Amino acid sequence: MQFTLPQPHQLLRRIRVQSLSTGQEISTGTYHGVRNLLLVLLPDFQHPLVSVVRELAAQLEPSETVAMLVVARSTVPPPNLPAMQGLVLGCEPSGELHKRLGALNPSGDPSWALYLTDRWGEIFACWRSLERPEPPSAAEIVSWIAFVNYQCEECTASRWLLDQALGDDS
């Protein structure tokens, strides 16, 4: 079955996976309208992107952006990734989500992909192993998060409130 991969400026469909901490279902819909989402799909917790995600989670403002790390080959939390605010761990052992979102290597096995959406689910950036050999650095992702926050006026202090306070009606 062929899938059309999500692209920038499209809405990322809501995703449901199993939480590695509680075993309950978690959904990207939980963050809709509330936080930006960095969705990170990995084959397992040994992937080099785990250290990038750890570094990112420490830099993210949890009230603005949440990172959801979803692995295909594990159903237990990794010992090398401590619980952090703004980081959600999930799994989807079937690998279907990885296929649907292009997180595959050339032989069709689960690999890596990252999607950055604003709080309304619009994809601003995506990186997939099918399209580039190396994943982005933490600095590149942080700069994209800053860009999303800058572009999304309704996500930050509104200019019109400042204009109202200053008496500017334009």
Within-domain flag for 45: yes
Within-domain flag for 92: yes
Within-domain flag for 90: yes
**pLDDT surpassing 90 at residue 153:** no
The domain tally of the chain equals 1
Q: Which residues pair with 127 in a beta bridge?
A: 114
pLDDT digits (tens, 9 = 90+) for 93-131: 888 999 999 999 888 899 999 999 998 999 999 999 988
Within-domain flag for 35: yes
Q: What CATH number has the domain bearing residue 147?
A: 3.40.30.10
- Higher-confidence residue of 164 and 46: namely 46
Residue 130: per-residue pLDDT: 87
Instruction: Check: CB of residue 72 under 8 Å from CB of residue 98.
Output: yes
Residue 80: per-residue pLDDT: 66
Within-domain flag for 3: no
Within-domain flag for 99: yes
pLDDT digits (tens, 9 = 90+) for 97-107: 999 999 998 88
Query: What domain range includes position 131?
Result: 16-166
CA separation, residue 61 to residues 42, 54, 106, 154 (Å): 23, 13, 35, 17
Within-domain flag for 8: no
Name residue, tokens 């942080």.
142
Within-domain flag for 144: yes
Residue 103: per-residue pLDDT: 92
* pTM for the full predicted model: 0.85
Sheet with 113-117: list strands edge to edge. Answer: 25-27, 16-19, 87-91, 65-71, 36-42, 113-117, 123-128
